[in-house]
Amino acid sequence: MNIPNFLSPTDVMINVAVPDKQKLLQDLASKAGSILQVPPDDIFAELFKREQLGSTGLGDGVAIPHARFHQIKKPFGMLFRLRKPIAFDAVDGNPVDIVFLLLLPESAKGERLSALACVARKLRNPAVMAALRNARDSAGMFHVLAGE
């Protein structure tokens, strides 16, 4: 699975200002909900529930909040670069500045794991991360992540 299968250039945002993890999850839920026609409160609740199981902060300034929904038929992603890093309870204790939201269909386990693995693999690559942090605009960020 390739990232352009579930991330659109219009769903990449830079200089997103949020004070904390909860507000970030609310903003992600609001934006995704309006695109997917899923109630934002439902998205936020599932993202929050997933974070309660363990932080989706991978370390090195990266988080991949994710959840499953019966209302969607294919994976959906959003990429945010935060204006200022925020505390996210990441495994390394460092704040997060690159966030990839991944919403997945409730079924299709293989597809779900493939999408999550694809994003995680890209965001663990130091060259990709440097390019994302140095991209001038959201189109540049999309091209960094979409490139094979």
Q: Which domains does the chain have, with CATH numbers?
A: 3-146 (3.40.930.10)
Largest Cα separation within the chain, whole Å, is: 37
Predicted confidence (pLDDT) at residue 57 exceeds the cutoff of 60: yes
Q: Among this protein's residues, is 143 annotated catalytic?
A: no
Token code pair at residue 24: 């970030």
Given the residues 21, 66, 112, 122, select the one marked as catalytic.
66
Q: Looking at this protein, which amino acid is placed at residue 100?
A: F
Q: Which of 42-46, 90-94, 103-107 has the lowest mean pLDDT?
A: 103-107
Residue 129's pLDDT is: 96
Percentage of the chain lying above the pLDDT 70 cut: 95
Residue 109's pLDDT is: 61
**Short-list 132, 108, 131, 130, CA closest to 6:** 108
Average pLDDT estimate for 112-124: 86
Predicted confidence (pLDDT) at residue 148 exceeds the cutoff of 80: no
Average pLDDT estimate for 67-78: 92
Residue 130's pLDDT is: 96
Q: How many CB atoms lie within 10 A of CB 51?
A: 19
Which stretches of 24-123 are assigned E, i.e. beta strand? 57-59, 62-63, 66-69, 76-86, 96-105
Local confidence band at 108 (pLDDT 50, 70, 90 cut-offs): low
In degrees and rounded to multiples of 5, residue 132 shows phi and psi of -65, -45
